[in-house]
Chain A
């Protein structure tokens, strides 16, 4: 009984998982390069330019530097948790990629359907929330195990910020779920097929603009990115929860932030901006071979994702940091009521106009 496993399926999924993991690591790597280039352009500098053309090898050099540096574990730290922290941060960052549908199904000549999604579970969005809520542990355990006041303060800041903004994020998504009527991301993407249908846009952004804005603000806060990067406010906390970390353990923390940014951009593209769908996709599908169509779809999703990453970067280099009370006020007193109102309006419109 145990050996009755569909080996082709297992191999297919393993290949897909490896591609997604390597791909998100690659995108995260070049996001660090992109961030420095964006910052440079916005501040009228040149940015990394020495390693390779346009400084394109800079991330490789940075990675090598992090690997080569001496690894220091403070004497007074809790050794096991100190090492576990960055690992957990990286794990939770890459776990969410499992449910993103990266492209439409590919049907081989023998009739075998290859789904470009690791797992289509019928609780997709709840899974996303589960993993996001676990993301706090990497930061908290790392910050506490360092046995440093600043690290502890910063990790508590990061955790309470994440918990506060998870609420508004969930409420914003509930309004979206009332529209879609499903938690499966695959179905949500298929509902947004094309761009225009029945005299209205199909993408969820045009049905839930307020929900998207709330979701975007909360995602920025969950990522601990400026203007919500209170956890690493240099002027108050020296550096943040990863102050005691060195070498690749520090690299894991910094890197998990970029992986998170990539995945959450992919989620925003999937949930609100039609995923891999694009205008006139039906006529394109009829005109080109299947593998070209699938490649175009994956490319479209990637383009949208990179667009969101760029948006995150523009915001980081434009807006100053919030004060902590401003952050909490925005989360609890503005975003949550706004999300509740959005939910009420969505419910009322659905009930009175569409009679769902």
Chain B
């Protein structure tokens, strides 16, 4: 067993452990922290595959930005263990069935990859930033630009939804909502 295999098994075990921690811990903040750790383990796998750019972008985007927003929301919701709603048995069964179906589909999709040729270590440089940039801006330039337009429209949509309309300040929905408080 060489050092890469050792690292692979250690990272995989930790990733699965942290993933279990996400769904098994009672405290939502602990779940978020486990999820962040899982992202780190996945980044470790990317580095083993010589995809350093993906590894660091995974950390910047998911661990550094998205999970911070998750934490914001969870911290402001003031979740306590005793206010947690009890899930009914029906929802638990439905969750188990849908999760099991997802597992089945993923297994079916990945089944063939078990027999494929294992990745030669160090044989691929596609994950390095220079190669990735060249590929993105030559071969895949149209999908790349289209997806950035998609992001732009999502951003504009978020701004429009988040914007308070000054016309409704007095009257309309705002006034109707404020009514009960005045009594």
Contacts and interface: CB of A to CB of B under 8 A. Distances in A.
Nearest to B58: A130
A81 B34 CA distance: 13
Contacts of A159: 68, 72
Contacts of B150: none
A59 to B, nearest CB: 32
B52 A140 contact: no
B119 interface: no
Nearest to B68: A136
Interface residues of A, number: 25
Interface stretch (A20-28, A118-126, A201-209): A118-126
A238 to B, nearest CB: 19
A264 to B, nearest CB: 17
B29 interface: yes
Contact of B129 (A78, A123, A141, A144): A123
A350 interface: no
Interface string A152-170: 1000100110010000000
Interface string A104-140: 0000000000000000011100110110111011001
Contacts of B72: 156, 159-160
Nearest to B4: A1
Contacts of B63: 130, 133-134
B29 A78 contact: yes
Given A121-B52, A152-B75, A183-B129, A126 B57 contact: yes
Contacts of B52: 121-123
Contacts of A319: none
A2 interface: yes
B-side interface size class: 20 to 34
Contact of B2 (A1, A123, A144): A1
Given A140-B68, A156-B75, A134 B56 contact: no
Interface in B42-63: 52-53, 56-57, 59-60, 63
Given A1-B2, A78-B29, A163-B65, A140 B71 contact: yes
Given A126-B57, A136-B64, A140-B75, 4 more contacts: A123-B53, A159-B72, A163-B65, A183-B129
